[in-house]
Amino acid sequence: MTEFSYQDNIILEQPTSEEKVEINIVDAICGSGKTSAAINMINASDEEQRFLYITPYLDEVNRIIESCPSKHFKQPEVYGTKTKGIKFLLEKGLNIVSTHALFKNFDTEIVDLVRAMNYILIMDEVAEVVEPLDISKSDLQIVLDKTELQDNGLLKWTDKDYSGELWNYRRLCELNAVFYHNNTALLYLFPVDCFKAFRQVYILTYMFDAQVQRYYYDFYGAEFKYIGVAGDKIDNYHFVPELTISNNNEFAKLIKIEDSITLNALGEKSFSLSVSWYDKNIKTYATGIKNNLYNFFRHKAKTPSNKNLWTVFKQYKNAIQGKGYAKSFLSCNARATNAYSDRTAVAYMCNIFFNPILKNFFEQKGVRVEEDKWALSELLQFLFRSGIRKGEEIRLYIPSMRMRNLLKRWIVGAYDDKMDPNNQEQIPTEVKVEKAKELIERYNLNSAVVDVSDMNIKTVVDEQGVISVVSDDDLPF
């Protein structure tokens, strides 16, 4: 009898030396069918395929549950705390849907469960993956005493017996999630191992190039690719390998920008209406800003209070709120609400800039931060809380010239290009220029001054104020 050897007949699998996750960025404008495409993908998947669906919208949680009945999605908070609930559901191998807050409760046990159970992550909108940690100097010193600073800047917790009030910092350090920046500040970096634990990741967003999560991926050297959405109705939207270019002028037709010189006079300087500007000038200009808001809503838009929507940095809300619009306030960084989609008069009283600590952190690490594009993406997120998401016309008061010009550049497609790691084909320059000329004329975008000093563009403005392209390097503004 011949002796049988398993080694002679079976190739044994070996663990890979590096975890690979396929990260897909579905970058398309609101209303393009991203969520419907994700739902259709889930419903068409194999019965045994497991999903974790994360969304900022509570109403979207119910939509996923109702739209994917065969997958029996569960919410972790139903089973106790979110942390206990997700561990229970992961152990059972069930499909899970929850809000972004769930991600901040991840620990090493959850990461191991996700990896073992072979989940696909679908994330509706980017997460807060990097942010400064608010910690007192005394508590910071305690954390530093109980940790070891590693070569990569991350803090490693060394006091294995600690169980005090700063336990959450221990949890984050054990997840490799706390970075000590410039010997002055602690930064939270979402544990990259959490993303690596998934087989595939789908990020449903718009203008990903400008998001902190893009810079986070660049920092960690994470590979990702852009994909698009095709289809024309709910039941046939699907993901496609080609990048989708948004038709911004469809929304441009719905936006009427307030061009009153009087109402916009406060915002002419580059840093007017920024946080630092409000800090220095709120007492002086509060009454004037309040009068401008009242004038816009009452005499320009002529809308009832239940059709108004306005924002400013939250700490200055009380100083400038007034009759006819006080109850229509929404935070300028709001994401998780569709409750204002009936509002048709919008006032955006902010001029926003990237967090200087985070900007310094990324740039020191060689990661390019596109501050203007990020500011534009924040503005668009807010605008899409209003009636524009339902195809209704809106009247927009945006006194900051910088923010107003960013919006106008977006309208003519100045920000359609992606910094694509796979070098996907970009929009041909001649197409951008022709599109810009057409839309500038159609929407009378020459009616306001446009600052092109930071765009490296050669243009000529004639005596009638009409912008002409004298170089095909880029757009007219």
Alpha helices in 57-211 (DSSP H): 58-67, 82-92, 108-117, 137-145, 167-174, 192-196
Supply the pTM of this predicted model: 0.81
Q: Which of 381, 382, 360, 383 is nearest to 371 (CA)?
A: 360
DSSP H or E stretch at residue 289: helix 275-295
In this predicted model, what pLDDT tens digit does every residue of 96-138 receive, in sequence order? 999 888 887 888 899 999 999 999 999 998 888 999 999 999 9
- Contact predicate 395/344, CB 8 Å: yes
3-state helix, strand, coil in the chain (%, to 5): 40, 15, 40
For the four alpha carbons of 322, 318, 293 and 334, in that order, the dihedral sign comes to: negative
CA distance 312 to 355: 17
Give residues with Cβ within 8 angstroms of 120, minimum separation 6: 49, 50, 51, 52, 198, 199, 200, 201, 202
Residue 127 has a pLDDT of 85
CA distances from 201 to 21, 95, 109, 423 (A): 7, 15, 20, 20
Unique residue bearing structure tokens 């990661």: 367
Tokens of 354: 């990237």
Q: What are phi and psi of 225, to 5 degrees?
A: -140, 150
35-54: string of b/e by CB count within 10 Å (b at 16+)? bbbbbbbbeeeeeebbbbbb
Query: In which element (H, E) is residue 54 found?
Result: strand 50-55
Provide the pLDDT for residue 243.
82
pLDDT attached to residue 410:
87
235 close to 44: Cβ distance less than 8 angstroms = no
What pLDDT, on a 0 to 100 scale, did the predictor assign at position 438? 61
What the block records as the tokens of 397 is: 């008061």
Tokens of 254: 């719905």
Task: List, for residues 346-373, the tens digit of each pLDDT value.
Answer: 999 999 999 999 999 999 999 999 999 9
List of the chain residues with pLDDT < 70: 1-19, 336, 416-477
> Cα–Cα distance between 407 and 386 in angstroms, integer?
16
Distance, in Å, from the CA atom of 477 to the CA atom of 474, rounded to the nearest integer, reads 8
Based on the number of CB atoms within 10 Å of its own CB, is 13 exposed (0-12), middle (13-18) or buried (19 or more)? exposed
What's the distance, Cα to Cα, between the start and end of the chain in Å?
A: 84
Chain-centroid distance of CA 2 in Å reads: 65
Evaluate whether 244 touches 28 at the Cβ level (below 8 Å). yes
